[in-house]
Homo-oligomer: A and B are copies of this chain.
Amino acid sequence: MPGTEVGAAAGSNSASPCARLEARFARINALAEAEGMLHWDLATMMPKGGAEARGDQLAVLRALRHGLLIAPEVGDLLAEAENETAGADGDGEAAWRRANVAEMSRLWQHATALSEDQVEALSRAVSACEAAWRGARADSDFAAVAGKLETVLELVREAAAAKAEALGLAPYDALLDEYEPGGRAAEIDRTFADLETFLPGFLEEVREHQRRRPPTVMPDGPFPIERQRALAVRLMERLGFDFDHGRLDISLHPFCGGTPDDVRITTRYDEANFTSALMGVLHETGHALYERGLPQRWRRQPVGQARGMSVHESQSLLVEMQVCRSRSFLGFAAPLLKEAFAGDGPAWEADNLYRIYTRVEPGFIRVDADEVTYPAHVILRYRLERAMIAGDLAVADLPGAWNELHTKLLGLTPPDDRRGCLQDIHWYDGAWGYFPTYTLGAMTAAQLFAAAEAADPEIEPGIAAGDFTALLAWLRANVHTRGSLLATPALLRQATGRALDPAVFKAHLRRRYLG
Contact = CB atoms under 8 A, between A and B. Distances in A.
Contacts of A31: 57, 60-61, 64
Given A37-B41, A49-B262, A50-B262, A4 B56 contact: yes
A484 B495 CA distance: 61
A116 B8 contact: yes
A144 to B, nearest CB: 28
Given A37-B41, A53-B259, A27 B245 contact: no
A246 B47 contact: yes
Contact of A30 (B7, B26, B60): B60
Contacts of A34: 34, 38, 57, 60-61
A50 B259 contact: yes
A52 interface: yes
Contacts of A258: 50
A50 B263 CA distance: 9
A355 interface: no
A390 interface: no
A161 to B, nearest CB: 24
A70 to B, nearest CB: 13
A56 B38 contact: no
A64 B41 CA distance: 22
Interface string A300-339: 1000000000000000000000000000000000000000
A217 interface: no
A59 interface: yes
Interface of A: 4, 6-8, 26-27, 30-31, 33-34, 37-38, 41, 45-50, 52-54, 56-57, 59-61, 63-64, 116, 120, 242-247, 258-262, 299-300
Return the 4 tightest CB-CB contacts between A and B, nearest first.
A50-B262, A49-B245, A30-B60, A49-B244
